[in-house]
């Protein structure tokens, strides 16, 4: 009756994270051997100012999205749920796109600020529409409406872009990447993502109760309105800050909980932490790969994730079909 | 052991305007620990609604439900979860969890935020033993037979060590043998000092197993008391439109035979 089916799951993921983080710092278009690292090498700034913030961001965003995905699947009791479902990522992207449209994105942190404002707007709208009912259906529909509205507005902004250059900049940003991120980006995203993950983790017990359906969960002490607030705020913080820092990176929140769930006892709370660790690992591996790959211009991380994610998801569906059939 | 779950003049109306319908009208009853109470009545009589009010799932429009003299809405969700166990009519189990994990969910109202205590583990082991489900504790709930599943779901509620156990039609979809098994289990649970409330459709079972029968009709409590005193042919004819005959079973217990519409 241990919480984990594989008791070594979390330690194994932690070890893998440390190893891959170390490797990711050393590897790139310029390989830096560990022995040269502490010798006062003039490549030291490459590590501290370029690679390290990027590694930290990949860990934070991957971890946040992995956990947010696990929480969303637990909350909606649906293995197909994804952190973007509530429209938070779409409105955050809209905010960022608006800042690029008005040419404000050159000023540091303005784009992130706009994206966070967009995410906050989605959270407020969701709360206002779903109200105190705690109803999952009203809530999800509200998210879908907000998401498609923000998507339409983003398309409108792109079509109205003043120059082809601005259009290109917007489209390029939307694809999601961690290229050229600085410590400023880390400082902005880190507190929000960590806080969001703490809020999500505090909902673990209520998510477990929801395994038995809404009525039984309520008789086990789950309070629908409280849980809904935890999910909206937790997922909102994680996804909003992630999109602000990196653009939209799909599939992490969808795939990772799937991979992790069979390795646990499948209680939603038992999936949260391993999903965070595995999400961090996956995004770090993917980002290191696009960074170190010998391509002329770097492959966008968002594209790489989707290229990786789509075949995986297809395999998952085929596997599900075999189990049903 | 003195705590009592009470409903006083509880009324519930559903819908608004012309479709407004009173599903429960001035229902009052007091449930005691250690007693098996059967709530019976035709479809739409308000049985499930009354049970939902007693479980704190629905706030009555009028009247009050109290747990040991404290109004249920003033009892914290967590404490209510610790003291009142609820077995829904249609049990939903997501995520292909195994029986041990299912039973561990019953400890949620007691459990700390992260860890399960020795008391949690002991209660879970106790619940598995009481329902004779320990031998398939590692099987996924979805692979169980109907009878096994019913016992596993009951183990989940028992793991919470509630003072009251409210079960909405726990015999639905069970064959006769498993119905008797579940009822015997319910009796055992009551012997341990739990107030057991069962919504039942089978009047013969109610006659045989219950200490007390609450008969509902059109949202009102039509009769409440000793099974033989409540389940009279006249009352059954008036409420259900069915002819019935009280009999004495081989072991001397009171039984009931239904012979057809009247």
Q: What is the pTM of this model?
A: 0.88
Is the pLDDT at B139 greater than 50, yes or no? Answer: yes
Q: Residue B114: its pLDDT value, please?
A: 66
Is the pLDDT at A2 greater than 50, yes or no? Answer: no
Residue A126 Cα distances to A91, A159, A231, B79, angstroms: 12, 27, 11, 30
Is the pLDDT at A34 greater than 80, yes or no? Answer: no
Would you call B98 an interface residue with chain A, using a CB distance cutoff of 8 Å? Answer: yes
Minimum mean pLDDT among A91-100, A259-268, A304-313, B50-59: which range?
Answer: A304-313
Is the pLDDT at A35 greater than 90, yes or no? Answer: no
Determine whether the interchain pair B108/A221 forms a contact, defined as Cβ–Cβ distance below 8 Å: yes
Compare CB distances from B108 to A3, A205, A223 and report the shortest one's residue: A205
Distance, in Å, from the CA atom of B217 to the CA atom of B204, rounded to the nearest integer, reads 18
Is the pLDDT at A48 greater than 80, yes or no? Answer: no
Confidence of residue A84 (pLDDT cuts 50, 70, 90): confident
Is the pLDDT at A1 greater than 50, yes or no? Answer: no
Distant-in-sequence, close-in-space partners of B149: CB < 8 Å, separation ≥ 6: B91, B141
Q: What is the mean pLDDT of residues A189-209?
A: 94
Q: Which residue of A has its CA nearest to B104?
A: A1
| Partners of residue B112 in chain A, C-beta under 8 Å | none
Q: Residue B3: its pLDDT value, please?
A: 64
Determine whether the interchain pair B113/A219 forms a contact, defined as Cβ–Cβ distance below 8 Å: no
Determine whether the interchain pair B92/A267 forms a contact, defined as Cβ–Cβ distance below 8 Å: no
Compare CB distances from A1 to B76, B100, B106 and report the shortest one's residue: B100
For tokens 């992630």, the residue is A242
Determine whether the interchain pair A202/B86 forms a contact, defined as Cβ–Cβ distance below 8 Å: no
List Cβ<8 Å contacts ≥24 apart for B72-77.
B76/A221, B77/A218, B77/A221, B77/A222, B77/A223
What are the φ/ψ torsions at residue B247 (nearest 5 degrees)? Answer: -135, 165
Distance from CA of A205 to the nearest CA of B (A): 7
Q: Residue B117: its pLDDT value, please?
A: 85
Nearest CA to A220 out of B254, B78, B139, B142 is that of B78
Q: What is the mean pLDDT of residues B91-96?
A: 88
* ipTM score assigned to the predicted complex: 0.87
Q: What proportion of chain A, given as a percentage, has pLDDT over 70?
A: 93
CB A150 within 8 A of CB A122: yes
Confidence of residue B125 (pLDDT cuts 50, 70, 90): very high
Please write the tens of the pLDDT for every residue from B215-260. Answer: 999 899 999 999 989 999 999 999 999 998 888 888 888 888 888 8
Distance, in Å, from the CA atom of A106 to the CA atom of A102, rounded to the nearest integer, reads 10
Distance, in Å, from the CA atom of B22 to the CA atom of B12, rounded to the nearest integer, reads 6
Would you call B91 an interface residue with chain A, using a CB distance cutoff of 8 Å? Answer: yes
Determine whether the interchain pair B95/A219 forms a contact, defined as Cβ–Cβ distance below 8 Å: no
Q: Name the CA radius of gyration of chain A, rounded.
A: 20
Please list the residues that pair with B164 across neighbouring strands. Answer: B84, B195
Determine whether the interchain pair A216/B101 forms a contact, defined as Cβ–Cβ distance below 8 Å: no
Q: What is the mean pLDDT of chain B?
A: 90
Determine whether the interchain pair A211/B105 forms a contact, defined as Cβ–Cβ distance below 8 Å: yes
Q: Which residue of A has its CA nearest to B120?
A: A1
Q: What is the mean pLDDT of residues A74-103?
A: 87
What is the DSSP annotation of B75-104? S-HHHHHHHEEEE-SS----TT-BHHHHHH
Please write the tens of the pLDDT for every residue from A217-226. Answer: 999 989 988 8
Q: What is the mean pLDDT of residues B98-110?
A: 92
What is the DSSP annotation of A47-85? IIIIIHHHHHHHHHHHHHHHHHHHHHHHHHT-TT--GGG
Distance from CA of A69 to the nearest CA of B (A): 15
Element (H, E) at A320: helix A301-324
DSSP-derived secondary structure letter, B67: E
Distance, in Å, from the CA atom of A96 to the CA atom of A91, rounded to the nearest integer, reads 9
């Amino acid at each position: 009756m241990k919480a984990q089916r594989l008791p070594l799951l979390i330690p194994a993921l932690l070890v893998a994270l440390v190893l891959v983080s170390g490797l990711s710092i050393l590897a790139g278009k310029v390989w830096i051997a560990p022995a040269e690292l502490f010798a006062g090498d003039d490549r030291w700034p490459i590590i501290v100012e370029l690679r390290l913030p990027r590694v930290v961001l990949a860990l934070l965003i991957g971890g946040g999205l992995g956990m947010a995905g696990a929480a969303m699947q637990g909350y909606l009791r649906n293995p197909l749920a994804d952190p973007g479902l509530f429209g938070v990522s779409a409105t955050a992207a809209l905010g960022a796109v608006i800042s690029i449209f008005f040419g404000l994105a050159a000023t540091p942190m303005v784009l992130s600020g706009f994206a966070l404002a967009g995410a906050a707007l989605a959270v407020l709208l969701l709360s206002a529409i779903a109200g105190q009912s705690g109803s999952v259906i009203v809530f999800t529909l509200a998210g879908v409406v907000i998401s498609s509205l923000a998507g339409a507005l983003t398309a409108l902004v792109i079509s109205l872009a003043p120059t082809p250059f601005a259009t290109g900049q917007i489209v390029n940003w939307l694809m999601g990447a961690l290229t050229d991120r600085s410590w400023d980006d880390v400082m902005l995203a880190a507190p929000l993502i960590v806080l969001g993950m703490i809020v999500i983790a505090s909902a673990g017990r209520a998510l477990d109760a929801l395994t038995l359906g809404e009525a039984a969960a309520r008789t086990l002490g789950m309070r629908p309105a409280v849980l809904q607030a935890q999910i909206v705020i937790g997922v909102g913080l994680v996804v909003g800050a992630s999109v602000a820092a990196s653009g939209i990176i799909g599939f992490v929140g969808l795939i990772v909980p799937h991979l992790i769930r069979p390795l646990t006892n499948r209680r939603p709370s038992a999936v949260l932490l391993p999903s965070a660790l595995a999400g961090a690992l996956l995004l770090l591996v993917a980002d290191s790969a696009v960074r170190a790959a010998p391509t002329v211009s770097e492959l966008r991380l968002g594209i790489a994730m989707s290229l990786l994610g789509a075949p995986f998801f297809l395999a998952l569906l085929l596997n599900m079909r075999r189990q049903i059939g | 052991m003195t705590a009592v779950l009470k409903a006083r003049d509880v009324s519930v109306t559903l819908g608004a305007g012309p479709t407004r319908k009173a599903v429960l009208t001035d229902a009052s009853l007091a449930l005691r620990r250690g007693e098996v109470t059967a709530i019976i009545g035709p479809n739409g009589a308000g049985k499930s609604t009354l049970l939902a009010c007693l479980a704190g799932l629905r706030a009555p429009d009028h009247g009050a439900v109290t747990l040991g003299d404290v109004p249920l809405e003033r009892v914290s969700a967590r404490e209510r979860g610790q003291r009142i166990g609820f077995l829904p009519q249609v049990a939903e189990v997501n995520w292909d969890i195994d029986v041990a994990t299912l039973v561990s969910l019953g400890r949620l109202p007691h459990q700390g935020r992260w860890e399960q205590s020795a008391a949690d583990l002991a209660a879970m082991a106790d619940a598995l033993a009481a329902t004779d489900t320990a031998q398939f504790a590692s099987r996924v709930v979805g692979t169980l037979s109907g009878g096994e599943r019913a016992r596993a779901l009951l183990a989940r509620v028992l793991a919470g060590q509630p003072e009251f156990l409210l079960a909405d039609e726990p015999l639905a979809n069970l064959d006769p043998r498993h119905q008797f098994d579940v009822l015997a289990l319910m009796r055992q649970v009551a012997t341990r000092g739990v107030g057991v409330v069962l919504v039942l459709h089978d009047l013969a079972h109610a006659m045989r197993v219950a200490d007390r029968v609450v008969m509902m009709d059109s949202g009102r409590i039509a009769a409440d008391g000793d099974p033989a005193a409540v389940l009279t042919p006249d009352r059954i004819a008036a409420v259900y439109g069915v002819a019935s005959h009280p009999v004495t079973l081989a072991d001397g217990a009171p039984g009931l035979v239904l012979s057809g519409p009247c």
